[in-house]
């Protein structure tokens, strides 16, 4: 019932802040439209740490980015003029479409210190929406992000629709993305509502379709079969998937169904033709010239 288990690989975002990269993986590039999945932290940051740990302004095309935190805080600034803090249980959803730039900085943590822990995901846009106008949405509260409790489990639907629930997040293709906090011994069935599904253990250990997963492992499930998820100790679980999105190319922060479009975006960034955020325009992330297609 498990097609593949993928472990996170350590990746330095710069300045010493490391993440665990799960997707893309050479043998499994996407799960539904989810083309990128980074596990941030957990990391304890003391007040006054260097700004080099921040994610400086950088560009994107062809995706929606999803920031979701368990602990800590981040400040988002983008070329649309948006400045938005995000805190645990909230969602920052940025449609990059034809092109946007943004930064994510640890303003709160630098002043007060913080325990940082969360997930950064990218959702590939369908071909007909790849050049959509960029947009930014912030969501919080159960009115936007349905929450529920059942025996030993507290859940939140971050995006999409599943099991009769629908998130207020604007998605462009059929998908779902959930957060489960599970007590030790809690168990739940993940139904076959979507063709492609995966379960990620962000903290703790869990048995998924009869196989034990530890922190930092993702189980990609076989289609068409229910899968049981049982927490062997208190666990934080992310469940995601959707309809297949088709082939996508990825170079650095650029995602598209067309390599020509990616090459255009690379040159636009090199030549300074993509506007920086008004509230964060004194530095930027250069294109990494040693980077090749993922």
Binding residues for Fe cation: 58, 60, 102, 104
Q: Which residues are annotated as a binding site?
A: 58, 60, 102, 104
Which residues make beta-bridge pairs with 63?
124
- Give every CB contact of residue 180 below 8 A, 6+ residues apart in sequence: 153, 154, 155, 188, 229, 235, 236, 237, 238, 239
Peptide bond into 24 cis (omega under 30): yes
- C-alpha 69/C-alpha 73 separation (Å) is 7
Q: Which two tokens stand for residue 127?
A: 């071909």
Q: Closest Cα to residue 115, out of 54, 74, 155, 84?
A: 74
- C-alpha 248/C-alpha 275 separation (Å) is 25
175 membership: H or E segment, kind and range: strand 175-182
Q: Closest Cα to residue 144, out of 171, 124, 119, 109?
A: 171
**Phi, psi for 223 (deg, rounded to 5):** -70, 155
Which residues make beta-bridge pairs with 219?
5, 199
Place of tokens 């003029």: 81
**Contact predicate 267/260, CB 8 Å:** no
- Give every CB contact of residue 25 below 8 A, 6+ residues apart in sequence: 6
């Amino acid at each position: 019932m498990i097609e593949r288990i993928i472990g996170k690989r350590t990746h330095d975002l710069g300045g010493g802040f490391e993440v665990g990269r799960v997707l893309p993986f050479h043998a499994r590039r996407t799960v539904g439209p989810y083309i990128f999945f980074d596990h941030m932290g957990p990391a304890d940051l003391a007040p006054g740490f260097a700004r080099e740990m921040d994610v400086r302004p950088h560009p994107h095309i062809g995706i929606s980015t999803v920031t979701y935190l368990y602990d800590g805080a981040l400040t988002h600034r983008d070329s649309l003029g948006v400045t938005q803090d995000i805190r645990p249980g909230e969602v920052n959803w940025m449609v990059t479409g034809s092109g946007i730039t943004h930064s994510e900085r640890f303003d709160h943590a630098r002043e007060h210190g913080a325990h940082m822990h969360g997930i950064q995901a990218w959702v590939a846009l369908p071909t007909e929406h790849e050049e959509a106008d960029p947009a930014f949405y912030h969501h919080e509260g159960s009115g936007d992000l349905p929450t529920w409790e059942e025996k030993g489990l507290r859940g939140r639907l971050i995006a999409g629709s599943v099991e009769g629930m629908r998130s207020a997040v604007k998605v462009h293709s059929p998908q779902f993305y959930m957060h489960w906090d599970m007590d030790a011994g809690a168990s739940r069935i993940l139904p076959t509502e979507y063709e492609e599904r995966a379960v990620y253990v962000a903290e703790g250990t869990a048995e998924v379709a009869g196989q034990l997963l530890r922190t930092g492992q993702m189980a990609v499930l076989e289609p068409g079969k229910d899968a049981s998820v049982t927490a062997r100790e208190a666990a934080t679980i992310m469940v995601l998937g959707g309809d297949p999105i088709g082939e996508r190319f990825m170079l650095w922060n650029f995602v598209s169904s067309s390599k020509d479009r990616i090459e255009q975006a690379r040159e636009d960034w090199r030549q300074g033709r993509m506007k920086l955020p008004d509230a964060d325009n004194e530095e930027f992330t250069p294109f990494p010239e040693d980077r090749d297609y993922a």
